[in-house]
A and B are shown apart, each in its own frame.
Chain A
Amino acid sequence: MTPEAAFAALAAARDVVAGCSPKDVVWRSGKVTLYRYRPLAPARADQGVRRVPLLIVYALVNRPYMMDLQEDRSLIRGLLGAGEDVYLIDWGYPDGADRYTTLADYVESQLHGCVRWILDARRLASLTLLGVCQGGVLSLCYAALHPENVRNLITMVTPVDFHTSKDLLSKWARRIDVAALVAQGNVAGDTLNQLFLSLMPFRLTQQKYVDLLSGGAERARIENFMRVEQWIFDSPDQAAVAFGEFVRWCYQENRLVKNQLELGGRHVDLRTLAVPVLNLMGKRDHLVPPESSAALRYAIASKDYTALEFDLGHIGMYVSSRAQREVPAAIAGWLAAR
């Protein structure tokens, strides 16, 4: 691709829109929005009664549209194609008014509000939670605090043991004065972007752009790149108190796997967590090493535990073509057996 062709292709793709599957807003509270995705096709008669809803709990640190980036790169579309009834929480963009929002607020008020709304709406006792990355931690906390509302729990690239040897982010975080960091307000999304880029600076700030220019100028390829690029740098600011709690309790003190975490005065007792659990990990995940996720096996009481490791990186778990083939099918297959 010549420089002129690259420039023209990137200019043409600058306004690409991420997110492809039709969805409806079904509930809002503060900055939180709960979406329900429309089925790809009407339910067949042999599918019987409607399925247990699946609620995706995304991380606070990025935007959830990564789960539905474009038609051929959409975990949600894959789940819809498998007949799942998919809901998604969008946490919104916290601002200065949210600086005192706590992790307990996110779990006990906002996540719980979404779950209660779905269960009431669908006249069900419980649903399936699919927690992604940090959202997996929130889901684990919720499932431990409200097991009666959770029928199945799926964790995807979710850190559990924050002190594994390959966890560079954790090593960096341990000596930081978190109280001082968040005393000046929310933590900027730009700051987190720099942090994440610093994990593999040569690949993430140079090589991937050389890769981009090394390929052809096909519109689909360039647009795909631009959507991922948009997602990577569309990072919400982090509510100061919740961010401070997460870093201190998880990255510094490793309370989750030590079973010492409390939210809102209640013990998040993972050892009582007995619901069926599917744990999805990326073998080449540089943000959440698979060892960190795998620690879940010994932290919970569930007898029905399945771990699947894919030969993918953190982002590849959502958007790689291999993930499209394997991940939704694995989730749907696991759910079908329960």
Chain B
Amino acid sequence: MENDSWRHWRAFTALMTPAFAVASRPGLASEPGFAPWISAGEGFADAARRFVEAANGSFGAGTGGPVPRAAGQADRSAAALDAARRFADALREQFANFRMPWNPGSAARDPFGAAGAPSVAYAPALGATREHQQRAERLADAWRGMDEAQTRLQRLWSDALQEAANGFAHDLAGKPPASHDPAALREVYDRWIEAAETAYARTASSETFCQALADFVNASSAWRKEQQASIEHWAKQFDLPTRSEVNSLVQRLKAVETALAAALAAAPAARTREAPVARESAGAREAAGARKSTGIRKSASVRKSTSKKPAKSKR
């Protein structure tokens, strides 16, 4: 890698993803849709910069060589660890509160805001629109349930990030990078990954995380169910086939296939096999003749006896 790994990585991602380049265009920050992300990005960058600066002051100089341990080293280490803690907190808060702007509870259009979901006061379901209203309410409830489950899961993710950042800072404090050359930077990066995976593995295997993940998957299933019901309702209005109807046909076909297979099994003489495809190998062609033969298979007992021999010819 070249010296400036971060610059290279950004250049590469800009090549790979035009959106990266677009997002960096001036003026986009003024658009409300992008503002929360840009604001969050700036907050993250600020916290990261302060951490790196403090870490440089403590763990190593920007000149490329190891820093001699001077009298103020303890103070600088404490400052670096403090910066690491603030960085970890920033990471946690950023990700814990992130919400997609189209999610319920994001009425303020601030995906990083903590604004709670507005309570939906359901009107009594009466009259000709009763079923439609209730269907819509069920769909909204399911969506809300999924959103809440996702938020709980994100909180745990952000906890893991916080723990990872703290672990990484302590790791750096214990063994500062010897220099800022590419190899040393790469080693630091690998240590970050190791710290992150270790923290994540601890969180991910916890009972809390397992339950939160299951809650999210189950809430997603509930939402899909309501969504499908809604789509099927509209499909029927236009006389379009629905998944339920196709399922019914597939089940009937499967029942017929099962009955046919049972009938064929009960009548071995009538047993037929699917024809080998045209491009069969020599072995397959050989098999066509073999299938016409009978009594060529050894009994289980014979096989057992021969299997004891390390027969070179038949192995």
Contacts and interface: CB of A to CB of B under 8 A. Distances in A.
Contact of B281 (A24, A202, A335): A24
B246 A120 contact: no
A337 B2 CA distance: 53
B284 to A, nearest CB: 4
B interface, size bucket:
35 or more
A20 interface: no
Interface stretch (A45-53, A134-142, A223-231, A315-323): A45-53
A214 B8 CA distance: 11
Interface string B273-315: 1101101110110111011010011111011000100101111
B228 to A, nearest CB: 6
Nearest to B246: A96
Nearest to A202: B196
A49 B314 contact: yes
Interface in A102-150: 109, 117, 119-126, 147-148
A interface, size bucket:
35 or more
Contacts of A48: 312-314
B315 A26 contact: no
A202 B314 CA distance: 49
> Secondary structure of the B side of the interface?
helix
Contacts of A210: 9, 189
The winner among B197, B225, B246, B293 for most chain A CB atoms within 10 A is: B197
Interface string B203-237: 01100001101100110011011001000000000
Contacts of B290: 120-123
Given A6-B12, A180-B222, A214 B186 contact: yes
Contact of B307 (A119, A206, A207, A276): A276
Contacts of A177: 214, 217-218, 221
Interface string A190-222: 000000001111110011001001100000000
Nearest to A286: B201
A168 B193 contact: no
B33 to A, nearest CB: 25
Interface of A: 1-4, 6-7, 24-29, 36, 38, 48-49, 51-52, 85, 96-97, 99-100, 109, 117, 119-126, 147-148, 151, 168, 171-172, 174-177, 180-181, 183-185, 198-203, 206-207, 210, 213-214, 276, 335-338
